[in-house]
């Protein structure tokens, strides 16, 4: 049925990018749960849980009489340093931690390779952390250089240390949507902005 509905129509590719542990997969899961009724991937407190690009096809978001259909692409966290010792404190064995580090490095390369295919990107930043770092600035700067529309999500606003103003100050030329993907806070505004950016 769906193949007929969307015959000949190329779906928008919406990428989710950001540093590790900013909540990319939590947002992907939230979108999938809201509109498809199922989750997309596993989440973990250990950084670099997503080490492969994951795709969920044909998601239709409806808000205030408007709707948009896209393919959602959840990408591994982009980092400049990956150190297996960071994973040891989460109880991983040295062998597991080294394997995770290698896969995470490959994940960074893959995430960047996919960028040119994206029609629009949700940049997910952890609002409890300082946004002024090489990873955030490189991601947002490269999206701007490629003219890819960006929606910046200041995630984890349910946490005490969350500072939305700091993210807005760091990227004044972009629309910043504060959300808690985990709790589902402010998702209405998120979907409204998403439809506006994608249309």
Partner 1 sequence: MPHQCVRCGNMYEDASKEILKGCNCGGKFFFFIKKESMQQMQEITSQLTEDDKKQMEQDAFELIGEEETEKPVVLDLESIRMLKPGKFEIDLVDLFKGAPLVYKLDEGRYIIDVATTFKSLSKKK
Closest approach of partner 1 to the CB of residue 70, in Å: 23
Indicate the DSSP class of residue 180.
B
Q: Which neighbouring-strand residues pair with 74? A: 16, 54
Instruction: Please identify, using beta-carbon distances, which residue of 52 and 83 lies nearer to partner 1.
Output: 83
| CB atoms inside a 10 Å sphere around CB 155 | 28
* Least distance from partner 1 to the Cβ atom of residue 10, Å: 19
Q: How far is the CB of 145 from partner 1 (least distance, A)?
A: 8
Choose between 2 and 132: whose C-beta lies nearer to partner 1.
Answer: 132
Q: Of 5 and 109, which has the nearer Cβ to partner 1?
A: 109
Binding residues (CB under 8 A) for partner 1: these are 78-85, 94, 97-98, 101-102, 105, 108-109, 112, 115, 130, 132-135, 138, 142
Distance (Å) of CA 107 to CA 20, 112, 126, 155? 11, 9, 19, 22
Which of residues 62 and 146 has its CB atom nearest to partner 1 in the complex?
146
Q: Give the sheet arrangement for strand 54-63, strand by strand.
A: 54-63, 66-74, 12-17, 120-126, 150-155, 176-178
d(CA 133, CA 10): 35
C-beta of 158: minimal distance to partner 1 in Å? 22
């Amino acid at each position: 049925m769906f193949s007929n509905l969307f015959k000949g129509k190329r779906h928008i590719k919406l990428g989710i990018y950001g540093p590790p542990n900013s909540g990319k997969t939590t947002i992907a899961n939230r979108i999938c749960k809201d509109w498809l009724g199922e989750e997309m991937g596993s989440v973990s407190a250990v950084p670099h849980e997503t080490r492969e690009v994951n795709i969920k096809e044909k998601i239709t978001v409806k808000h205030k009489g408007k709707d948009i259909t896209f393919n959602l692409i959840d990408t591994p966290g982009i980092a400049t340093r990956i150190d297996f010792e960071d994973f040891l404190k989460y109880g991983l064995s040295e062998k597991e931690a080294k394997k995770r580090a290698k896969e995470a490095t490959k994940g960074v390369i893959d995430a960047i390779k996919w960028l040119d295919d994206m029609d629009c990107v949700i940049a997910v930043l952890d609002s409890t952390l300082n946004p002024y770092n090489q990873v955030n600035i490189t991601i947002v700067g490269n999206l701007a250089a490629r003219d890819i529309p960006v929606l910046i999500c200041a995630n984890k606003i349910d946490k005490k240390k969350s500072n939305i103003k700091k993210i807005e100050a760091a990227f004044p030329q972009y629309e910043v949507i504060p959300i808690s993907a985990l709790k589902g806070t402010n998702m209405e505004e998120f979907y409204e902005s998403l439809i506006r950016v994608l249309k």
